[in-house]
Amino acid sequence: MCAWSPLIRHGIRHGIRHGIRHGINLLIPPQCPACHAIIDDDGLCGQCWTHIKRITPPLCQQCGRGFAFDFADGVTDCWDRCGRCLTEPPDFDRAIAAFKYNAMSRLLILGLKYARRHDVTPTMARMMANAGAELLNQSDWIIPLPLHWTRYVQRGFNQSAELARATMKAADIAAQKYRPDILKRIKKTESQGYKTRQQRRQNLQSAFRVADNTRCLNGASVVIIDDVLTTGASLSSAARCLKKAGAKEVAVLIAARVG
């Protein structure tokens, strides 16, 4: 067989796919999920992108929360963590967010989760890859925060898994590091809103389980990927579960962070 044939086949397939997509775009032009303006390409329009804001330093070194003010040189190390992390630290060692959760990023994430706007995923993933490149490179395993199976059936996909795969692609991370099989969500948790910290912790007790016969966590550095960090209770609970199973370090990389 001609050595070029796989390349030719790939070229034809790519051409057909591109042609179909171009045809669909002509018939139903893509719209910005936030303002519904007609756009040339996928994702948000240029105007709406300007409302997506990065979280700028100084940041809490553990939970990634932005500090309201900068500290003078010479303060002690304890000031690199926020008050909440000093008094009641989460079980993950580090959290990095690509951008702030605001009205605009909320539309972006709701579009991805509930309106199947998968076209926004590559752009969000590029921002996550930029923010978390070092973390992803140093990790042994990359795990999307799992959904309970009933929610997965309802939604048809796990947005964290979509973001994890796209982020790894954007950061050029070896595909073998992707391990959605390690962590399972075994408890369908109620909404975390309006719960105290203690109630949230109880609500999430034993919500996750590590798959049987998983030995690859011993001494491993793991990154969990999720869409939004609100209270961090679910991510903390997942991190606790991974650490119990032997993980040495657990960091989280999220698209957006509240607060």
Binding site for Zn ion (CB under 5 A): 32, 34-35, 37, 45, 48, 60, 62-63, 65, 82, 85
Task: Please check whether residue 220 is in contact with residue 141, taking contact to mean a CB–CB distance below 8 angstroms.
Answer: yes
Closer residue to Zn ion, CB minimum distance, 60 or 224: 60
- Smallest separation, CB 222 to Zn ion (Å): 19
Closer residue to Zn ion, CB minimum distance, 118 or 148: 118
CB atoms within 10 A of CB 133: 17
- Smallest separation, CB 171 to Zn ion (Å): 24
| 177 CB-contact burial (10 Å; exposed 0-12 / middle 13-18 / buried 19+) | middle
Closer residue to Zn ion, CB minimum distance, 63 or 127: 63
- Smallest separation, CB 18 to Zn ion (Å): 24
Task: Please check whether residue 234 is in contact with residue 207, taking contact to mean a CB–CB distance below 8 angstroms.
Answer: yes
Closer residue to Zn ion, CB minimum distance, 35 or 210: 35
Task: Please check whether residue 224 is in contact with residue 97, taking contact to mean a CB–CB distance below 8 angstroms.
Answer: no
Closer residue to Zn ion, CB minimum distance, 35 or 258: 35
In the sheet that 249-257 helps form, which strands lie side by side, from edge to edge?
A: 94-100, 249-257, 221-229, 141-144
- Smallest separation, CB 118 to Zn ion (Å): 17
In the chain, % helix, strand, coil (3-state, to 5) comes to 45, 15, 40
Task: Please check whether residue 120 is in contact with residue 42, taking contact to mean a CB–CB distance below 8 angstroms.
Answer: yes
String of b and e for 185-206 (b: at least 16 CB within 10 Å)?
beeebeeeeebeeeebbebbee
- Smallest separation, CB 45 to Zn ion (Å): 3
Closer residue to Zn ion, CB minimum distance, 12 or 86: 86
- Smallest separation, CB 231 to Zn ion (Å): 12
Checking phi first, is residue 124 left (phi over 0); if not, alpha (psi -120 to 50) or beta? alpha
